[in-house]
Structure 1
Amino acid sequence: MAGPPPALARARILPATAMPPWGWLLLYFAAHVLGRVLVSPALELDEAEQAVWTQHLQWGYGAQPPLYTWLQWVVFQVLGVSVFTLSLLKNALLASAYVCVWLACRMLMPASLAAVAAASMLLMPQIGWEASRDLTHSVLLTTVSAATLAVVMALLHRPRPALYLLTGFVAGLGMLTKYSYVGFLAVLLLALLAGRDTRAVLLSRWTLLAVAVAALMVVPHGLWVLQHWNQAIESTAGKLTGKVPVGFVHGLWLGLSSLVLAVLAFAGPWALTLGLVFGRDALRAWSRWWRPAAPPAGAGVDMQALWRRYFLALGLLFLAMTVFGEVTRFKDRWMMPFLFLLPVAFFGCAPELAGHARLPRLRRVIATVAVLVLVLLTARVPYNALRDKPDELNQPVRELAQALRARGYAGKGTIVSNDRTLAGALRVQFPRAHVEVDDGDGILPAERPLLWVEPLTDALPALPQDLVLPYHFSASGDAPARYRYALLP
């Protein structure tokens, strides 16, 4: 292959009016970290799981590959176990996802438009909101998928051995991130293999070396999966189907309707915003995805054809999951590794939007959404308490830790709780203790001292050793949080 894609050649003619706003990106996610630290010392479920899992380095954790937990372990070792370090890693990964999407966009359009395209991911609720609220593995999955796309785009532009090795390394990271990465990689490879202008990149001896690099990285975890099949696969597969068996036709209807709703929930707000901002120009850009165009001159890559093949392969994957895999439900956040590249495809097919009169309007919309997300994420904790519907972040875990210390617990030994969120929060409050989640077998650890803690519901009668503490930001008349503990010295 020789020569860049036509869109890239055109983009070089257009002046880059501004550098990417790295400062705004860092400031935005630093504000997220600060807001998370200030709003509550308690943990969301995914945060709590990381707090517990990072006590040991393993080749796998439950239904998830190990990479996120490994990264969190490293951050904990360097900066300590805290809400700050939990939030720091996730927001650093989110920022990296935007950077990788910008790198992919930059090969197809001017820098100023690439920055807007990458920032428009904020308009996808699962990335702009849900990823900041309470996701871990899906955040890393999106980041690694974006890195994969950026490396592949660079490979299409100028194939060289170092990029093949980097592709294998990134693919290995992806398969250690979340199992759905395999689906994204398969769709991307199929789209590349199906095109004459992109097939030659894969049909190279360096591709075998890239595969070897990825395989070497994944083999240890693969062996762990074989030894823990029920944990790793069956629990994941159970999320894709309903608890009640249904017939084929009914199941097909459930699966396809769930898929459509998931795609609309993920991409609908983003697409609607672009349509309102650019009007007919947005429709013309969208139509280029499916409208056959003249083949590029020389040996360039037809990016519009590549996107068509990608989305066609993705549709076939989802259809196969529904028909042959009997998948009856799709969640909108599962679209993150597959549809995050919508801005790359859309703006890559319309680089002329860099000079569009309404582009500043889109910048203002994105900035407004960014501020709203930051404010609402911070305000939701006091808001939930004010309406007397406290959630995990309203739990008074710092006060609980102080009360347990006052009653004789020195912060060492073993802590056991039947609540995963509480267990993780106690790991942060007592970093010198070993924390376990009770699996219901009735067998307590032999190590001493042993502290047992569990949250209580209002239905259970009160005992003298119960701890009654007000929720964070709750009013004086609201029902308090209740905990029961037992301390074995």
Structure 2
Amino acid sequence: MTVSDDRTAKGAPALLGALFARTAFIDDAVGRFAAARVGPLPLPLAVIALVFIANCLLSIVARVPPGFDDREQLAAMGHWALGYSGVQPPLHTWLIKLVDLIVSDDIAAVYITRSLILCLLAAVLYGIGRALDLSRDGAAAAAFGLFLMPPVGWEAQRAYSHSLSGLFFTALFQLAMLMVIERNTAKSYILAGASAALAVLGKYNGLIALAGAIGAGLAWPDLRGRFRLRRLALAAAAFLLVLAAPMAWLASRLDTLDDSVGKFQIGQAGSALAVRLEGALAFLGGCLAYAGPLVAVWLAAWIVARIDGRATPLSPKGLRPEVRYLLTAVAASFALSLVLVLGSGATEVKGYWLHPVLITLPAVVAALLSAVDPTGWANRFVIVCGLVLSLASVAGFLLRSAGIGA
């Protein structure tokens, strides 16, 4: 090592030490924030709920014109059905109709349902964090990580319909699977089966998350030994019971699935290799657009921990079984989705199609940062970034309600 290299090696930790000293009061405040409660509710979840509710109220008061998906819901919610608009699953429309029974305002019901689902999603991610045995810092980071994924932290508040129910029940399904691994009770199996079915009724691509979960359960010998065949039958029964009637309806309309070819841009002209390469790039680009900020913050926190000397070695076998399960489930879903894109020749991948693959990624990131940085600083850094972006979303909705931007 040269003298210059030696000075650099000594200088970087010293610089970080000075920065940590100057920002220690912020780190302490974030730690207190993560540990605080408002009655029975953790303060981080209360703040997230206030953000979603504020943005919902801004949309209602300003009577923001509904987007395409919302107009579709307004047209469909006039009647109860096993599916809507060709082959669209029914769950989200049912939820809007239930809310409308209370508020008696169709467009307000659309916006309130969206806000309610997002609040519950944050609570489920927080619950996943706790199920992974993370500290309150880690659980809060898992919830605030939503705002580091633009399709959820911004777009889901603005435009989604069916995808909202799909992403929420996919997250709930993964929480139920963690309960199965930890408690192995009949109720946890039934919840896993029912929530998996509801994820599919929200958006059919929820099946990808189910396949990823099965792959994760089979991948680790110590996890395979925790599942009980008879109770798996309970989960399968709950899954089939919830899906039976809607799937029978869908089976009668399979001839209307041709529009999927257009959505995915399947069968484009060109060589097979060029088409697959275009599809792979579209898939990876979609993933980057979905979770790029979260991954960037994750890497930044890890690099800082390494330079500062606080990072601990990370080994998959050293992780808790629940963490290994969720990490493997996300990886398996990712791999399956890529295989489907390459195998089908699809060249179009929209961000909201990736919900079943990436919606629990904030919890995975929080778990890995907890393992790498036991001081909790890395997860508190995620909380700060997520909090800033959550407040930015309120500013964005204020501008939107004033007719500025979309």
Determine which of 375, 379, 383 is the counterpart of 1:363.
Answer: 383
Q: Does 1:254 align with 2:272?
A: no
How far has the Cα of 1:123 moved from its partner?
0.8
Q: Does 1:265 align with 2:289?
A: yes
Q: Does 1:177 align with 2:177?
A: no
Determine which of 395, 399, 404 is the counterpart of 1:375.
Answer: 395
Q: Does 1:135 align with 2:155?
A: no
TM-score (norm: length of structure 1): 0.69
Per-residue Cα deviation, 1:28-67 (whole angstroms, up to 9, x for no partner): 2210111111223521111111111011111111231000
Determine which of 220, 226, 240 is the counterpart of 1:215.
Answer: 240
Q: Which amino acid aligns with 2:393?
A: V
**Aligned positions of 1:300-449 closer than 5 A:** 302-303=321-322, 305-307=324-326, 309-351=328-370, 353=373, 355-357=375-377, 359-380=379-400, 382-384=402-404
Contact 1:286 1:346 in 2 (8 A): no
Contact 2:138 2:367 in 1 (8 A): no
Q: Which amino acid aligns with 1:18?
A: A
Structure number with greater CO (CA < 8 Å, separation at least 6) is 2
Unaligned runs of 5+ in 2: 1-31
**Aligned positions of 1:13-412 closer than 5 A:** 17-19=35-37, 20-21=42-43, 22-62=45-85, 63-108=87-132, 109-231=134-256, 233-242=257-266, 244-281=268-305, 288=314, 291-293=315-317, 302-303=321-322, 305-307=324-326, 309-351=328-370, 353=373, 355-357=375-377, 359-380=379-400, 382-384=402-404
Contact 1:39 1:378 in 2 (8 A): no
RMSD: 2.7
Take 2:192 and 2:158, find their aligned partners in 1: how far apart are those partners? 30
Per-residue Cα deviation, 1:423-445 (whole angstroms, up to 9, x for no partner): xxxxxxxxxxxxxxxxxxxxxxx
Contact 1:121 1:127 in 2 (8 A): yes
How far has the Cα of 1:258 moved from its partner?
0.6
Take 1:83 and 1:282, find their aligned partners in 2: how far apart are those partners? 50
How far has the Cα of 1:165 moved from its partner?
1.2
Q: Which amino acid aligns with 1:293?
A: K
Note closer, same or farther for the CA distance 1:221–1:246 as it changes in structure 2 (3 Å cut).
farther
Note closer, same or farther for the CA distance 1:357–1:169 as it changes in structure 2 (3 Å cut).
closer
How far has the Cα of 1:201 moved from its partner?
3.7
Unaligned runs of 5+ in 1: 1-14, 386-390, 392-489
- Asked which structure has the greater CA Rg, the reply is 1
Show structure 1 runs of 4+ deviating over 6 A.
282-287
Take 1:71 and 1:51, find their aligned partners in 2: how far apart are those partners? 12
Q: Which amino acid aligns with 1:341?
A: T
Take 2:207 and 2:287, find their aligned partners in 1: how far apart are those partners? 19
Per-residue Cα deviation, 1:392-440 (whole angstroms, up to 9, x for no partner): xxxxxxxxxxxxxxxxxxxxxxxxxxxxxxxxxxxxxxxxxxxxxxxxx
Take 1:335 and 1:112, find their aligned partners in 2: how far apart are those partners? 26
Take 1:39 and 1:72, find their aligned partners in 2: how far apart are those partners? 20
Give SS of 1:65's match. coil
Take 2:316 and 2:209, find their aligned partners in 1: how far apart are those partners? 25
Note closer, same or farther for the CA distance 1:33–1:159 as it changes in structure 2 (3 Å cut).
same
Name 2:15's counterpart in structure 1.
Answer: none
Contact 1:124 1:266 in 2 (8 A): yes
Report how many residues are paired.
365
Between the aligned residues of both structures, percent identity stands at 23
Say which structure is richer in helix: 2
TM-score (norm: length of structure 2): 0.82
Take 2:225 and 2:377, find their aligned partners in 1: how far apart are those partners? 39
Note closer, same or farther for the CA distance 1:32–1:308 as it changes in structure 2 (3 Å cut).
closer
How far has the Cα of 1:263 moved from its partner?
1.1
Take 2:302 and 2:328, find their aligned partners in 1: how far apart are those partners? 25
Per-residue Cα deviation, 1:367-406 (whole angstroms, up to 9, x for no partner): 2211111111331354558xxxxx7xxxxxxxxxxxxxxx
Contact 1:124 1:267 in 2 (8 A): yes
